[in-house]
Amino acid sequence: DADVTQTPRNRITKTGKRIMLECSQTKGHDRMYWYRQDPGLGLRLIYYSFDVKDINKGEISDGYSVSRQAQAKFSLSLESAIPNQTALYFCATSDRTSASVAQYFGPGTRLTVL
């Protein structure tokens, strides 16, 4: 969805390096999410944010941190990357009006940690 952009699209890094993945959205949504996708495991939630001052851990937050710089921007950091963080990372957004609304996903960032 072109309304949700992620940079970079691909990144190869080495163990121990600090990495930041960025997400921007023009949908005007309050809620933003970071997921990782691993083959055979589906998507798992890393962090989510309901607004600039509200950030929450998801089911697999260890080894990650986030920053919500503005309503439209939500960054994911790996302070010291390790090989098992090799995955496809997705940012998503949703409107806060109802739990029944769908989430809108960015194109993903493929991260490889050597």
Partner 1 sequence: AQSVAQPEDQVNVAEGNPLTVKCTYSVSGNPYLFWYVQYPNRGLQFLLKYITGDNLVKGSYGFEAEFNKSQTSFHLKKPSALVSDSALYFCAVRPIRLSGGYNKLIFGAGTRLAVHP
From start to end of the chain, where are the E strands? 4-7, 10-13, 19-25, 31-38, 42-51, 54-57, 65-70, 73-78, 87-94, 104-105, 109-113
63 interacts with partner 1 by CB under 8 A:
no
d(CA 113, CA 15): 6
Q: Which of residues 8-37 bind partner 1 (CB under 8 A)?
A: none
76 interacts with partner 1 by CB under 8 A:
no
CB 35 within 8 A of CB 92: yes
Residue 86: CB minimum distance to partner 1, A: 17
100 interacts with partner 1 by CB under 8 A:
yes
41 interacts with partner 1 by CB under 8 A:
yes
Provide the residue type at 56 as one letter: N
Between 70 and 99, CB nearer to partner 1: 99
The site for partner 1 (CB under 8 A) is made up of 1, 4, 40-45, 48, 50, 56, 58-59, 90, 92, 99-100, 102-108
